[in-house]
């Protein structure tokens, strides 16, 4: 097609990339929201590897705090045994969803306790922590305090904005001097305008910080399931300083000579919008107060509803990603979750929408394009790849679109615009289907066989680009397509797109890539 040699803006790089998910509470089994966060991180990590970067992709579980202690009691289990069991279910999800994480952190690990205590000690040395007493409205479920103006009362019970009941708590507590950090955080946001994405979330955080910050309670004496405060065993660290520290624990902190430490600061922390405040305010304040760099970006994604209803255990409509994989296949589910909804916005999970994406875009558009092209090569080109030819005027539009595609997709993924990256690829797939219909290579075998082979080669080149770019989203299926296209393992990175495949390469018979789903009437 001439497109592959024109791709000059996608080059292998040697820089590193540290990408994280939130660490997940072990008070219940994983659901589609957990899969969604980790999928986004997985796709970006796979893309960075395609670029030739050194990548460390971390996920894990948050295992301390009053909420976990209570869940263990309700299950009649010791907290450590309970967290061991539930944490394993999150490890199992990484395998089920095909995630490529390099590390899995648990906050009950000894290395994490050491890191938390080292960070705490550094903050004490820098006069950022003091002992006081706290009283206020506290929600155990949210592990957060709320102001009186944030509460609603029903039937004599006060509730947080999240719907969690609150109780009045008074206890001694260590505090972090967060009130000193408002101006410094605002300056950091100004200097790093893409630190918080999407922009709507950034605006929320900036407005919150401008309204004034109070010092932050960072320890508890009302329960014991947590990391002990150095020098004061009566206190355990509040979950947010404990949980957030996981991101540097995994890189070897406090040993700044550790091999992985050079990966800090993180390129992106992926989080749900409900925990953005902790990641975009508390976490950079802790780090900067300790003399450490803040992460480069915190991206807050939205929530899923189920067929228009809020997801909740009481409604019995929690979406089980394992069941969806079994029903629809792994790669169609991965594709759908990042294709259906603009990343950063709330979205509604609909089975019919998933089926429509699978049947329409994957099976009919991409799958049929691959099968038609490769079947014609089998029949009309003796099952070998035709020689590359320069595009004619009729080929030029698709050739230019395909040539630009890696750069377009890369720019979207740099901003975590997964839906736009997929839309750009699928727009090119649609145009390639239009091209094959107009060019009709099946008819050219009799009238102009040389032109017919040229058309098939242009289509093969386009499919190579599509399959290469879709690897992070659908790794298993795209590996099959790249096999059918005759691509060796060494030629599946972005930098390899600038090298044309030699004509005469033997290609295997194609096999269907996607299984269409019949919808009930």
What is the band of 401 on the pLDDT scale with cuts at 50, 70, 90? very high
| Least-confidence region, from 318-322, 330-334, 403-407, 463-467 | 318-322
Q: To the nearest whole percent, how much of the chain has pLDDT over 70?
A: 96
> pLDDT tens across 335-355, in order?
999 999 999 999 999 999 999
User: What does 336-369 look like in DSSP terms, one character per residue?
Assistant: HHHHSS-BTB-EEE-HHHHHHIIIIIIIIIIIHH
Report the pLDDT averaged over residues 140-151: 86
Average pLDDT over the chain reads 93
pLDDT of residue 9: 39
Distance CA 389, CA 458 (A): 8
Cα 429-433-436 angle, rounded to 5 deg: 135
pLDDT of residue 4: 35
pLDDT of residue 239: 83
Report the pLDDT averaged over residues 482-495: 96
Determine contact, residues 223/235, Cβ cutoff 8 Å. no
Model confidence at 252: pLDDT above 90: yes
Model confidence at 27: pLDDT above 90: no
Distance CA 97, CA 91 (A): 10
Q: Would you tell me which CATH number, out of the four given (3.55.40.20, 3.50.50.60, 1.10.3470.10, 1.10.730.10), belongs to the domain 351-498?
A: 1.10.730.10
Distance CA 501, CA 483 (A): 13
What is the band of 274 on the pLDDT scale with cuts at 50, 70, 90? very high
Report the pLDDT averaged over residues 469-474: 98
The whole model's pTM is what?
0.91
> pLDDT tens across 309-324, in order?
877 666 778 888 999 9
pLDDT of residue 28: 73
| Least-confidence region, from 31-40, 41-50, 207-216 | 31-40
Distance CA 431, CA 397 (A): 9
Q: Give me 323's structure tokens.
A: 């069941």
What is the band of 113 on the pLDDT scale with cuts at 50, 70, 90? very high
pLDDT of residue 93: 92
pLDDT of residue 240: 84
pLDDT of residue 143: 77
């Amino acid at each position: 097609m001439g497109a592959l040699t024109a791709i000059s803006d996608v080059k292998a790089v040697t820089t590193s990339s540290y990408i994280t998910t939130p660490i997940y509470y072990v008070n219940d089994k994983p659901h589609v929201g957990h899969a969604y966060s980790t999928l986004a991180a997985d796709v970006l990590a796979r893309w960075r590897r395609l670029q030739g970067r050194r990548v460390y992709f971390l996920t894990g579980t948050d295992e301390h705090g009053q909420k976990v202690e209570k869940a263990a009691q309700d299950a009649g289990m010791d907290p450590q045994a309970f967290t061991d069991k539930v944490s394993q279910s999150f490890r199992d999800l990484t395998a089920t969803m095909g995630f490529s994480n390099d590390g899995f952190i648990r906050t009950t690990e000894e290395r994490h306790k050491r890191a938390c205590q080292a960070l705490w000690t550094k903050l004490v040395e820098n006069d950022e922590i003091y002992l006081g007493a706290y009283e206020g409205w506290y929600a155990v479920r949210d592990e957060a305090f709320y102001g009186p103006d944030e509460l609603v009362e029903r039937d004599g019970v006060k509730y947080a904005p999240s719907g969690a009941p609150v109780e009045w708590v008074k206890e001694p507590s260590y505090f972090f001097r967060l009130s000193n950090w408002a101006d410094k955080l605002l300056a950091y946001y100004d200097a790093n305008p893409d630190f918080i994405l999407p922009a709507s979330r950034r605006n929320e955080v900036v407005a919150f910080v401008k309204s004034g910050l109070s010092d932050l309670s960072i320890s508890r004496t009302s329960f014991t399931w947590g990391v002990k405060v150095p020098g004061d065993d009566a206190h355990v660290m509040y979950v947010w300083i404990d949980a957030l520290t996981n991101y540097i624990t995994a890189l070897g902190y406090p040993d700044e000579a550790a091999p992985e430490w050079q990966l800090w600061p993180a390129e992106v922390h992926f989080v749900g919008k409900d925990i953005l405040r902790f990641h975009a305010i508390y976490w950079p304040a802790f780090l900067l107060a300790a003399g450490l760099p803040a992460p480069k970006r915190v991206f807050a994604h939205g929530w899923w509803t189920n067929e228009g209803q809020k997801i909740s255990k009481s409604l019995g409509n929690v979406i089980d990603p394992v069941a969806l994989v079994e029903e629809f296949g792994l790669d169609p589910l991965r594709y759908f979750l990042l294709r259906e909804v603009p990343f950063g916005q709330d979205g509604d999970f609909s089975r019919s929408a998933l089926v429509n994406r699978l049947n329409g875009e994957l099976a009919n558009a991409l799958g049929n394009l691959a099968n038609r092209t490769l079947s014609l090569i089998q029949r009309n080109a003796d099952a070998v790849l035709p020689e590359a030819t320069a595009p004619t005027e009729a080929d030029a539009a698709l050739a230019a679109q395909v040539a630009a595609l890696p750069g377009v997709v890369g720019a979207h993924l740099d901003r975590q615009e997964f839906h736009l990256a997929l839309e750009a690829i699928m727009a090119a797939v649609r145009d390639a289907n239009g091209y094959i219909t107009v060019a009709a290579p099946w008819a050219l075998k009799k009238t102009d066989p040389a032109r017919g082979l040229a058309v098939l080669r242009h289509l093969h080149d386009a499919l190579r680009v599509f399959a290469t770019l879709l690897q992070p989203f659908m790794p298993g299926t795209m590996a099959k397509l790249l096999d059918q296209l005759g691509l060796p393992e060494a030629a599946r990175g972005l930098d390899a797109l600038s090298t044309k495949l030699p004509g005469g390469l033997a290609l295997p018979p194609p096999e269907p890539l996607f299984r269409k789903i019949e919808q009930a009437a």
